[in-house]
Amino acid sequence: MSMRRESVIETPMPPLDVARVRADFPALHQEVHGRPLAYLDNAATTQKPFTVIDAVERYYRRDNANVHRGVHTLSQRATADYEGAREKARVFLNAHSSREIVFVRGATEAINLVAQSFGRANIGRGDEILITEMEHHSNIVPWQLLSGQLGATLRVAPINDAGEVVLEDYEKLLSPRTRLVGIAHCSNALGSINPVKRMTRLAHDAGAVVLVDGAQAAPHFAVDVQALDCDFYVLSGHKMYGPTGIGVLYGKEALLEAMPPYQGGGEMIKYVSFDKTVYNDLPYKFEAGTPHIAGVIGLGAAIDYLTGLGLDAIADYERELLHYATVMLSGIPGLRLIGCARDKASILSFTLAGVHPHDIGTIFDHQGVAIRTGHHCAMPVMQRYGVPATARASLAFYNTSEEVDALAAAIHEAKEVFG
Ligand code: 7TS
């Protein structure tokens, strides 16, 4: 038995069988406006496999109870599944301890938690917060709010034309005044993957704490928070094939331990009287109120699904698909690809001469091709490239080269309509 196990572990992961994978996602198999759906809006949210849908349904059908507070069987089952998902998230991120895994609503709430809890306790007047020019609004606005509240200054590391952070400028912006650095691991608008390990080391050398926004990274490749050595790492469940309304904040235990609570309420306390309240241990100190139990359990199933496919197999497949799509789109006259970083996830932002991105979206929808158009909650990126908006195709491991062909055909259709 043990020999069999060992041989399974030593066998390299098989390449991704996309036809089999697609069978796991019910929403992919439908027509839109009489055309087979090509769902290419995965950076906005991903579709869910049966295992995630079933896990959520099983909780509501069979195990529905509140967690951590009932001795009855249903509550024990719900608690075991909830805490089981925490352990899955810990392994997924290679965190040292499950006390470092806090369940939140999503990447947005995780960043706001760090800003308001860590930030208010550790950042003051005259201090600096450094982010990059490619951040999603959720890694800009919480720091602007905090800076305004504390009299701190927000600094921004620029990006080059390819959509890569200019590391020399980033390094120059780091100083003893820098208290916190916020970096996207992967940009939602450009696809650029940042060298966060190196950027973290540089920030630490300057004495700053580092938050990595992993919302667009975790669905595409393996993340190891201990190897990155970042202080905080945030995830959104719905971008990694799990439910909406659930996410993870990873924080180094010593930092979380020293931070004040973000919200007060039930669950986050050990003892309450009108004179004094004693807060709960980690991670419960940061999980006030009844959590999104079904969401956590669904996220656990999504992590199992990703791990089952293998993050390396996912990354390999998506790299090939990105290459195919880049070649296809680059050859189309009038098409401008925005974001050509050397290290890039399967996200293609583009503009089409003479066609407004919103019109592109509508025409594509009639071809069954789902993409996102707009500023992608990254307005400074649009400003950097001098465009009001882009069309964005974001590919997942269940997308195929035929769907990329459908995208190219839809682009030609848009050019004909407006050309
Ligand atoms: N960070 C990045 C890099 C993101 O792409 C997003 C959402 C968030 C944070 C916020 O995640 P939430 O789950 O808390 O909303 N990005 C997108 C997008 O690109 N299209 O729709 C949402």
- The per-residue pLDDT for range 211-231, each reduced to its tens digit, is 999 999 999 999 999 999 999
Residues 335 and 271 in one domain: no
Question: 303 CB under 6 A from ligand 1?
Answer: no
Residues 399 and 335 in one domain: yes
Atom of ligand 1 nearest to the CA of 394: 19
Confidence at residue 418, expressed as pLDDT on a 0 to 100 scale: 85
Confidence at residue 69, expressed as pLDDT on a 0 to 100 scale: 81
Measured in angstroms, how far is the CA atom of residue 398 from the centroid of ligand 1?
Answer: 20
| Strand-strand pairing, 335-338 and 347-352 | antiparallel
Q: Tell me, letter by letter, the H, E, C secondary structure of 305-353.
A: HHHHHCHHHHHHHHHHHHHHHHHHHHCCCCEEEECCCCCECCEEEEEEC
* Beta-bridge partner residues of 369: 38
Record the tokens describing residue 41, joined without a space. Answer: 């809006």
Residues 38 and 128 in one domain: no
CATH code of 26's domain:
3.90.1150.10
- Whether 365 is covered by a domain: the verdict is yes
Confidence at residue 14, expressed as pLDDT on a 0 to 100 scale: 67
Last residue of one domain, picked from the residues 273, 308, 343: 308
- Whether 58 is covered by a domain: the verdict is yes
Measured in angstroms, how far is the CA atom of residue 76 from the centroid of ligand 1?
Answer: 33
- Whether 62 is covered by a domain: the verdict is yes
Residue nearest to atom 7 of ligand 1 (CA): 44
- Whether 6 is covered by a domain: the verdict is no
Q: Closest Cα to residue 154, out of 176, 134, 173?
A: 173
Residues 83 and 221 in one domain: yes
- Whether 12 is covered by a domain: the verdict is no
How does pLDDT run across 367-401, given as a tens digit for each residue?
A: 999 999 999 999 999 999 999 999 999 999 999 99
- Residues 80 and 381: their CA atoms lie apart, in Å, by 43
pTM higher than 0.85: yes
- Whether 269 is covered by a domain: the verdict is yes
Backbone angles phi, psi at 337, to 5 degrees: -80, 130
Low-confidence ranges of the chain (pLDDT < 70): 1-14
User: Which 8-state DSSP code applies to residue 186?
Assistant: B
Residues 218 and 76 in one domain: yes
Residues 212 and 281 in one domain: yes
Question: 141 CB under 6 A from ligand 1?
Answer: no
Residue nearest to atom 21 of ligand 1 (CA): 44
Measured in angstroms, how far is the CA atom of residue 256 from the centroid of ligand 1?
Answer: 24
Confidence at residue 10, expressed as pLDDT on a 0 to 100 scale: 47
Residues 274 and 396 in one domain: no
Measured in angstroms, how far is the CA atom of residue 248 from the centroid of ligand 1?
Answer: 13
The catalytic residue positions are 377
Last residue of one domain, picked from the residues 258, 293, 308: 308
- Whether 7 is covered by a domain: the verdict is no
Domain extent at residue 122: 53-308
Confidence at residue 1, expressed as pLDDT on a 0 to 100 scale: 32
Residues 139 and 240 in one domain: yes
Residues 133 and 241 in one domain: yes
Confidence at residue 5, expressed as pLDDT on a 0 to 100 scale: 37
Confidence at residue 13, expressed as pLDDT on a 0 to 100 scale: 57
Number of domains within the chain = 2
Residues 198 and 106 in one domain: yes
How does pLDDT run across 155-171, given as a tens digit for each residue?
A: 999 999 999 999 999 99
Are the C-beta atoms of 134 and 381 separated by less than 8 Å?
yes
Confidence at residue 58, expressed as pLDDT on a 0 to 100 scale: 98
Residues 65 and 37 in one domain: no
CATH code of 280's domain:
3.40.640.10
Estimate the share of the chain in helix, then strand, then coil, as percent rounded to the nearest 5: 45, 20, 35
Q: Closest Cα to residue 202, out of 248, 235, 166?
A: 166
Question: 376 CB under 6 A from ligand 1?
Answer: yes
Record the tokens describing residue 236, joined without a space. Answer: 């959104």
- Whether 1 is covered by a domain: the verdict is no
Residues 197 and 270 in one domain: yes
